[in-house]
Chain A
Amino acid sequence: MNNSRMKIIDSDVHPWVNGDIEGLKPYMSKSWQMRFEGKRAILPDHPLRPPLAGATSIRRDTTPPSGGAGGSDPYFMREDHLDPHGIEYAILSSIQAGKLVSLPNTGEAITLARAFNDYFRDKWLDVDSRYRLAMCVAVHDPVEAAKEIRRIGGEQSIVAVYMPLINVLMGNRHYYPIYEAAEELGLPILIHPTGTEGAFQTSVAFAGGVPSSYIERHSCFPQIAMGNIASLLFEGVFVRFPKLKFLAAEFGFSWVPHMLWRVDQNWRQFRREVPWLEQEPSRYVLDHVRFTSQPLEEPEKDEYLIQILEMVHAERTILFSTDYPHWDTDYPETTFQRLPQAMKQRIFYDNAAELFGLNAAV
């Protein structure tokens, strides 16, 4: 079947709030407004910018006629993205909100996460029922983050918890309150590069040192997912929270076969360090972790991609995504064109529908 006629869930779409923190002020108390005003706080950009127009990752052609940044107008996104590409659901995660991990101040991060959530609930989710939100939490304070999950996570339009990561690996018990709340509400945890990696002391550090260009840091994003999945696995989060699922968005997946084999190999020799794992570690990963497709890797030969998809059990684990409105958008019409139909159905729709608890759009 032609991809343009398939039902599609896009698991990685990025809305934007014009005006940075200023644009969020209607969604915070007067006291917090004045607190941010008083220090001229901003959500800072990584200094290694993409060498693209405007040195931004947002495509120029997604700029709405109303003005503002690409991704900031839910009506234009509907017209520019959902309708022409037959997107039945778009999972919104705010990478702009992800930048709050650059802030060392816990109170500010909590306030901003809540304001982002309320902004999108107010401005986006009622515009079109195809929009579904991965609500943001400030992991600086997991108890407060859990309260935020319980405050709004039961709403039908909220389908995941986006955890912008600080430099503490995800298996750490620090995060348990977040996992408890997410599991209780049946919400998967979504992780995504925040764009702050390696640039701020509270943000995730890259392995080995500090990249020196955008191409270098962008190439290294998979490291972050690899380290965090190993942490989740061996620290026993998948055992401790058996119903909890995770989505690694925009970290690629061609490295996953390597990781599956390596964790199994290591388990055979070092099982006694993690006696709570009762089966091969790769099985936990395949049961609990999902990956988005974009930016789809382009191996030397087309058949290699099929082989990699088989190795990662793509019929269970891979979710189609566009990353609209960013520069490296993968559109359905030009992505995964040569896959077996059954695998396409799983990747373009079923895997996401199961993960996010989505049925056919009304």
Chain B
Amino acid sequence: MEHNVGRLEDIPNTDALIVDIEGRPIGVFKRGDKVYAVKNLCPHKRAPLARGTVEGTMLPTACVGEFKYGMENQVVKCPWHGWEFDLETGKCLFGVSDSKIKTYPVSVRDGQVYVDV
């Protein structure tokens, strides 16, 4: 069921908007023209994931000593241990863990943001 969490322009560009939908703590991130909603809970140690940061990460490189930055604005990093999750899929990156974060579909209509829970 879709829930209106507010106007797009009211969602912060740096931190998350943290809301409670039907008793579920949810963080809504806006980065560029993308909006993501995730459960505010890291599966590792139950940290408040929405207090983390959204950025890119270092992609796997075959060559020792080489760094390749990518996935800009697509990776949420937990504020505690720094575990990284793909906001598109919820998966922990690059096989570090099988655990996933809970993601929710988001739609934006007429400047309003809806999270489907």
Contact = CB atoms under 8 A, between A and B. Distances in A.
Interface of A: 235-237, 239-240, 267-273, 275-276, 278-279
B69 to A, nearest CB: 9
Interface stretch (B8-16, B25-33, B91-99): B91-99
B61 A275 contact: yes
Contacts of B97: 268
A92 B67 CA distance: 41
A307 to B, nearest CB: 26
Contacts of B96: 267-268, 271
19 contacts: A235-B64, A236-B65, A268-B44, A268-B96, A268-B97, A269-B81, A271-B96, A272-B84, A275-B59, A275-B60, A275-B61, A275-B68, A276-B62, A276-B64, A276-B65, A276-B66, A278-B94, A278-B95, A279-B95
Contacts of B94: 271, 278
B82 interface: yes
Given A276-B65, A278-B60, 9 more contacts: A236-B64, A268-B96, A271-B94, A272-B57, A272-B58, A272-B84, A275-B58, A276-B63, A278-B95
Nearest to A273: B58
B36 interface: no
Instruction: Name which of A237, A267, A273, A278 has the most chain B CB atoms within 10 A of its CB.
Output: A278
A267 B93 CA distance: 12
Contact of A239 (B64, B81, B95): B64
A272 B96 CA distance: 11
A268 B81 contact: yes
Contact of B82 (A236, A240, A269, A279): A269
Contacts, number: 43
Interface size class of B (residues with CB under 8 A): 20 to 34
Q: Which 4 A-B pairs have the closest CB atoms?
A: A236-B64, A272-B58, A275-B58, A269-B81
A272 to B, nearest CB: 4
Contacts of B84: 271-272
Contacts of B57: 272
Contacts of B65: 236, 276
A235 B64 CA distance: 7
Given A267-B96, A275-B59, A279-B95, A240 B81 contact: no
Contacts of A273: 58
Interface in B62-117: 62-68, 81-84, 93-97
Nearest to A265: B81
A279 B95 CA distance: 8
A239 B62 CA distance: 8
A279 B94 CA distance: 9
A267 B67 CA distance: 16
A272 B71 CA distance: 12
Instruction: Name which of B94, B95, B97 has the most chain A CB atoms within 10 A of its CB.
Output: B94
B79 to A, nearest CB: 12
A270 B67 contact: no
B101 to A, nearest CB: 14
A268 B59 contact: no
A269 B60 contact: no
Nearest to A171: B64
Instruction: Name which of A237, A267, A272, A279 has the most chain B CB atoms within 10 A of its CB.
Output: A272
A209 B66 CA distance: 34
Contacts of B95: 278-279
A235 B66 CA distance: 11
A279 B62 CA distance: 12
